[in-house]
Amino acid sequence: MNSIREDALYISKESIKAVLPENAVISALEGVEFEGDIVLVAIGKAAWRMAAAAKETLGDKISRGVVITKYQHSLGEIEGLEVYEAGHPVPDENTLKATERAIKLVKDLTEKDTVLFLVSGGGSALFESLREGVTLDDLMDITQQLLKSGANIVEINMVRKHLSKVKGGGFARLVQPARVFSLVLSDVLGDRLDSIASGPAYPDSSTSEEALQVIEKYGIRIREELRNILMVETPKSLNNVETKIIGSVSRVCEVATEKAKELGYNTMILTTTLDCEAREAGAFLAAIARQIYEYNTPLKKPCAIILGGETVVHVKGTGKGGRNQELALSAAGGIKGLKDVAILSIGTDGTDGPTDAAGGIVDGTTVKRLKEKGLDIDAFLNNNDAYHALQVIGDLIKTGPTGTNVNDLLLLLVR
Ligand SMILES: Nc1ncnc2c1ncn2[C@@H]1O[C@H](COP(=O)(O)OP(=O)(O)O)[C@@H](O)[C@H]1O
Ligand SMILES: O=C(O)[C@@H](CO)OP(=O)(O)O
Ligand SMILES: [Mg+2]
């Protein structure tokens, strides 16, 4: 019989494999009629796989295109398309250059033509053309501050949209009079289309006022001049876009349920919209684990509790980690000594925070194994250094970039 850790790792691996975007792109394009030129623009961490699938389906009907993904996320050349890599989560020079190229390709299209726009999370950092008066240094600095502030992605993107020419519907406006046919892989809770990759081809529901409120709420330092630039509104309606969501965290949770059932676990999807502080989620999951362990409720053992979402971290320390690693490490204390309990937390994109790990997996022996090395969980948590704690004891999960991006998957297994 496999260990409980092996089961958890198996379920997460198979679930992520099932939500790779190829099949979803192919079936979304089935039966769609395109009249004139098709220009492909793919952005985000899943851009390469989405573009390759579209190219396979439509072949030469795609006249040209640009793929912009994160460093190490391209799997090579795609015939007839230009493939670029750029900075994420903080944009860089290559972000601007590649976006410039995409804009050039969609200029001068007619109302008969279509931009096939393939969108996945990560697009905010990878696709950018700045408003007059905003510099790349401004954007890098503001992005860095926002990422550490504890602001959620919807809030972060309200600010990014109001500094940009392509976010918040701006790209669709640039493409006019051509139409935009957009396939979206969602990595935002509630599948908010104007937040995923900052919605370049979706009417923006956020306002300048709200962007400024985010700046105030989280104490983000910006140049005075930028306040006026933020006050220019994004498009609130667009008449040239059609959008389909082709994957989300709900789907990965459903697959995890199927896989866990196959292994004999009773299952429950507890939520697909987890959005609290990572370490609170970890402590809470540990409490549920103890409940099941002691009282066999709310599910009977063997059981798998499945969650999806995206927690936040107020990064105050100087250590290395990500929200999934921090969540896992903070859960370890609460399940100390329990046999056959495992808690796993993983980013489906394969990278958690600025690290080479996808997440972490802990069990009832994690605390003991750390103690044997003379290490104390709290010290690591206080320094936001979950990576190094989990690394020493082999509790990191490393997958490499997966080619998809549908938020985070959490598993609690008890048997
Ligand atoms: N040392 C750290 N410990 C925990 N979380 C961190 C640390 N450094 C950065 N983070 C978190 O990682 C987030 C970025 O993670 P990333 O996996 O790139 O996000 P996404 O998958 O949503 O693009 C930041 O918003 C920040 O909250
Ligand atoms: O691009 C973005 O705005 C977000 C959400 O879609 O993705 P990520 O958190 O992966 O950077
Ligand atoms: Mg995210």
Q: Using alpha carbons, list the distances in angstroms from residue 77 to 73, 84, 146, 300.
A: 12, 10, 34, 50
Q: Among the bound ligands, name the one nearest to the CA of residue 188.
A: 2
Q: What is the DSSP letter of 165?
A: S
Q: What structural domains and CATH numbers belong to the chain?
A: 4-15+250-414 (3.40.1480.10), 32-247 (3.40.50.10180)
Model pLDDT for residues 258-309, shown as the tens digit of each residue = 999 999 999 999 999 999 999 999 999 999 999 999 999 999 999 999 999 9
- Distance, CA of 115 to CA of 64 (rounded, Å): 10
- DSSP readout, 346-389? EETTS--SSSS--EEEEETTHHHHHHHTT--HHHHHHTT-HHHH
Tell me, in angstroms, the distance from the centre of ligand 2 to residue 187's CA: 7
**Residue 150: pLDDT over 90:** no
The complex's ipTM works out to: 0.97
Q: Closest ligand 2 atom to the C-alpha of 123?
A: 1
Query: Ligand 2: does its nearest atom lie under 6 Å from the Cβ of 157?
Result: yes
Please give the backbone phi and psi of residue 359, each rounded to the nearest 5 degrees, phi first: 170, -155
Q: How far is the CA of 188 from the centre of ligand 2 (A)?
A: 8
Instruction: Look up the pTM and report it.
Output: 0.92
Mean pLDDT of 31-43: 95
pLDDT over 90 at 121, yes or no: yes
